[in-house]
Amino acid sequence: MTPPARIAPLDVVWRTCDAVPECLGVAHEPYGRCLAHLSPGEAGRFLRALTPGQALDLRGTLLSEDLLARVLDGVERRAGRARFDRAVFTGPARFGEVVFAGDATFDNARFDRLASFYGARFLRNASFREARFHREFSLHDARVCGHAAFDHITVRGDALFGAARFGAPSAAAPGTASLQKAFQKASFQRASFQKAQFHGFAVFDAAVFHGDAGFRGARFHRAVSFRGSDCGASAEFQGARFEGAAYLGPMRIVRRLSLAGVRACAPLHIDTGGCRVVLRAAAVLGRLAARLSDAEVDLRDATLAGLSAVTRRSGRLRVTSLDGLDADALTLTGADLRACGLGGLRRPEGLSLRECVFAAPPGGLGLRLGWPPVRWWSRRRVIADEHLWRGWAAQSADEPATGPAGERTPDPARLAVLYERLRPGVDDARVAADFAFGAMEMRRLGSPRGRMRLLLSLYWLACGYGLRAGRALGWLALVTAVVAGAACWAAGARPPGKPAVQRARVAVVRPVASFSHPAHGLGG
């Protein structure tokens, strides 16, 4: 007679083995004991009854290497619904090339030795929640067609996910409704590694995620690599911690790479494109090297303690926010800063700008009610903060001129200081000169009306603060022309109706005195 069901030491939902009180293995009828506690004859009858594609229920069972191999051979390495929750694998667990036609669950399972799923095929969902791997865990070249859950797993050895594929590719037509369904399907077919612990090397090289790849709160104690991987939706690393070097790329991401709130104690390498890269509130204590193409990057409230570089690889690199950024040495190369405010930087002198694109004043003549009523704006580079303060129109319809989020509109005094602090980090001499001009212009406009503003206005009008040689030459040419015209006018001007008078030359004849000759005498 089978003993009645009893309460297991842990909260489980299946009838446990009656052999020993501590055993959590699922009981098989009519024995009332788990597979590990069946007699050799009973175990033989159980294994001979297995057929390919049959469902397997080995929850809580203690499985040795030999017993697991006999079970997989019994179903000819093709199982239906497979349940290994809380199972304990005392020897190497080799599931290589096994096909799971139904859902496969390994929740809370424990693998004391190698856990190898090399080339395994999960035709539906796979779950390894809170599983513990004391040695290596390999899912290399495996395929999970449905949802893959690895939340809260702990891997003491290396984790190998190279060339693995998660989710099924969508074969939808290019219509709007079909694309929406494809994105919904991709969001459902996700691989989740939430709060996973990787104590060894974690390798995801050439892995393909047809849906989202979620690593929220994951912790990588050693190096992690995603070289050559592909993500069809979003890659989410919010709150993750990298204690070793992290190589996130070269990889392709369709929608977004989120590194918000991450903490990297070692070098962090990012190489991707065609997506949005979010580094909000990230703390990178090592070196940050980001090579992006056709991407948007958000560095709001980030802390970069080491030498950092964000470089445009190809296409366009648009920086959306640098507010609250605290960087010791950050180099932006080829970035589009036309719509990114720089007034929120904590240390502007730590920013180096190379080949960056800045905003520009409106071209042509400007008419206004103030003085002067007509103004011709010179072509120079300006930061988005001045663009916002002056109220100029945006560079284009899709790029609104916005200042720092949550900040009040910048004032000229702050802009003058900002220009001065940014100028040493500019590699282009023309841009540096434009920043120097902008600093003087903001200083002039921010000065109260009086002698100082008058002197600065004359300085601006005469030679553009010593930076507009053409303006000084123009004034010189104008003064020269005026002086020359005045001289010509003075030399050629005469009163009309008065002919020139010629004075006659008068000959002066001096009288000659007469003397009496001594031969002549006086009559008398």
Mind listing the pLDDT tens digit for each residue in 332-391?
A: 999 999 999 998 999 999 999 999 999 888 766 566 666 556 555 667 888 988 888 877
Give residue 126's domain range: 51-168+191-367
Residue in the block written with tokens 């083995």: 17
* Residue in this structure with the two tokens 């190589």, named with its chain if needed: 247
513: in domain: no
Contact in structure between 34 and 60 (CB atoms under 8 Å): yes
- pLDDT, one tens digit per residue, over 307-321 is 999 999 999 999 999
Distances (CA, A) of 120 to 53, 117, 407: 14, 5, 54
Cβ of 44: how many Cβ atoms within 10 Å? 12
Is residue 419 assigned to a domain? no
Share of the chain above pLDDT 90, in %: 60
Is residue 299 situated within a structural domain? yes
Q: How many domains does the chain have?
A: 1
Task: Give the mean model confidence (pLDDT) for residues 162-186.
Answer: 62
Does 441 map to a domain? no
d(CA 48, CA 54): 12
Whether 136 maps to a domain, the answer reads yes
Regarding predicted confidence, which is higher, 421 or 484?
421
Q: Which amino acid type is present at position 324? A: G
Q: Decide if 464 contacts 379 (C-beta within 8 A).
A: no
Two tokens at 246? Answer: 């992290």
Q: Which two tokens stand for residue 496?
A: 């009309």
- How many Cβ atoms from other residues are within 10 Å of residue 522's Cβ? 5
Asked whether residue 99 is domain-assigned, the answer is yes
Residue 106 covered by a domain = yes
Q: What are the start-end ranges of the H helices in 170-239?
A: 176-188
Give yes or no for a contact between 364 and 414, defined as CB atoms under 8 angstroms apart.
Answer: no
Decide if 519 is inside a domain: no
Which of the residue ranges 143-157, 187-201, 437-451 would you say has the lowest mean pLDDT? 437-451
Q: Is 308 helix (H, G, I), strand (E, B) or coil?
A: strand
Q: How is residue 331 annotated by DSSP?
A: E
Question: Looking at this protein, which amino acid is placed at residue 112?
Answer: D
Least confident of 325-339, 405-419, 430-444, 488-502: 488-502
Question: pLDDT band at 78, cuts 50/70/90?
Answer: very high
* Residue 40 identity: P
> Up-side HSE of residue 217: CA atoms within 13 Å toward CB?
9
227: left (phi over 0), alpha (psi -120 to 50) or beta: beta
Q: What is the pLDDT of residues 447-492, one digit of tens each?
A: 666 666 666 555 555 555 555 655 656 666 777 777 777 778 877 7
